[in-house]
Amino acid sequence: YDFSGEEFETLELTGDTVNPGEPKSGPHDFELLKLLGKGGYGKVFLVKKTCNKNAGQIFAMKVLKKATIVRNAKDTAHTKAERNILECVRHPFIVDLMYAFQTGGKLYLILEYLCGGELFMQLEREGIFMEDTACFYLAEITLAIEHLHSQGIIYRDLKPENILLDSSGHVKLTDFGLCKESIHEGTMTHTFCGTIEYMAPEILMRSGHGKAVDWWSLGALMYDMLTGAPPFTAENRKKTIDKILKAKLNLPPYLTNEARALLKKLLKKNVSERLGSGSEDASPIKAHGFFRHMNWHDVLQKRLDPPFKPTLQDETDVSQFDSKFTKQTPVDSPDDSMLSESANQVFLGFTYIAPSVMEEMTKPWLSIREPRSPRKVGGLPMR
């Protein structure tokens, strides 16, 4: 009752009461078809949406265990980052996030399914790429990274396993778990929170890691594509790190002058000398002689013909994925273990529906139904 004597009903604020009639999505809406991958983070499945909007459509479903994530504060930030980054970032060469939801124990990301698999598989199969093949992939990747940087995001984890191919053979970056959000010009990823008065000069002077880390990785990836292995390798982690920090770059003689020149400029150990480290970001890389035949507008419009078009039976074809995973029976292990309310707080706001999907749900009249480590390469040096 209020003072006027009128009667009020209490209403709990939930997704259902705020958006009545809007069907809630959850893991139960997705039928598991295949296991695509598995790692410390969780699993990726091929799934089919079984009801409501997009029923019958195929997606990739990434499942993460909250308990594993909460154990590591860094992972919590990473997982939030992945969801946030995927929500705001829309780009032709970056995976699309369709839904994000959670249960007591798990987080779910529903992504477009990239049936071409990892670029890494293609590279394994071929050993090395011809320079124009490498040029195609590097150009699309460069635009994706340029876009992330323009949004204040550093990718940090550019490697062949994170570059997937769509059904036509174009590039899509996935796995944003390690990206750092909100790093704009002049700031560093190791943002100093709170008091800095007591910090040693070398901490404050540390160049941190900025956008240029991604251009180094682009160089390492380019080197891998053209020679069959990353530029600095050794028998263990420590020796590899040592080499990355100190070893001279070794360029095989069969590379063209343009490729050699770009590799040298991307793999500069001194950040300020590295191509792309300036405020112009990708511009000098895009203008480099190695990309002289690229019309960057056409690249963005996907007007270039991909070097490899995956041969696929249908949209649920998993032939481009490791059979070690795809031959397993897909199971999303039941996980009813609830986190304590306080631990679960960190996942507030994870749930998400892509604007495109949301629009269809709220304005159904708008929807137009369509008809229903080193590789083996014989005899080449530098392996």
Would you count residue 33 as binding ligand ADE (CB under 6 A)?
no
Would you call 96 a catalytic residue per the annotation? Answer: no
Tokens 């003072």 correspond to: 3
Would the annotation count 39 as a binding residue?
yes
Cβ-based neighbour number of residue 43 at 10 Å: 21
Residue 264 is labelled as binding a ligand? no
Rounded distance between C-alpha atoms, residue 87 and residue 356, angstroms: 12
| String of contacts with ligand ADE for each residue 146-175, x by CB under 6 A | ------------------x---------x-
| Residues touching ligand ADE, count (CB under 6 A) | 12
Catalytic residue among 75, 96, 157, 335: 157
64 is a site residue for ligand ADE (CB under 6 A): no
Whether 177 and 153 have beta carbons less than 8 Å apart is answered as: no
37 binds ligand ADE (CB under 6 A): yes
- Residue 65 in marked binding region: no
CB of 115 to ligand ADE, least distance (A): 7
Q: Does 114 bind ligand ADE (CB under 6 A)?
A: yes
Q: Return all residues near 350 (Cβ < 8 A) that are at least 6 apart.
A: 80, 83, 100, 101, 102, 107
Residue among 33, 69, 110, 111 that touches ligand ADE (CB under 6 A): 111
Q: Tell me: does residue 60 bind ligand ADE (CB under 6 A).
A: yes
Encode burial over 60-80: b for 16+ CB neighbours within 10 A, e otherwise. bbbbbbbeebbeeeebbebbb
Beta bridge partners of 180: 154
Helices 212-227 and 131-150 pack at an angle, to 10 degrees, of: 170
Q: Shortest distance, CB of residue 57 to ligand ADE, whole angstroms? A: 13
Nearest-10 Cα torsion for 84, 89, 90, 92: -120
- Does residue number 262 form part of the binding site for ligand ADE (CB under 6 A)? no
Residues in contact with ligand ADE by CB under 6 A are 36-37, 44, 60, 62, 95, 111-114, 164, 174
Q: Which residues does the annotation place in the binding site for ATP? A: 36-44, 62
Catalytic positions, please?
A: 157
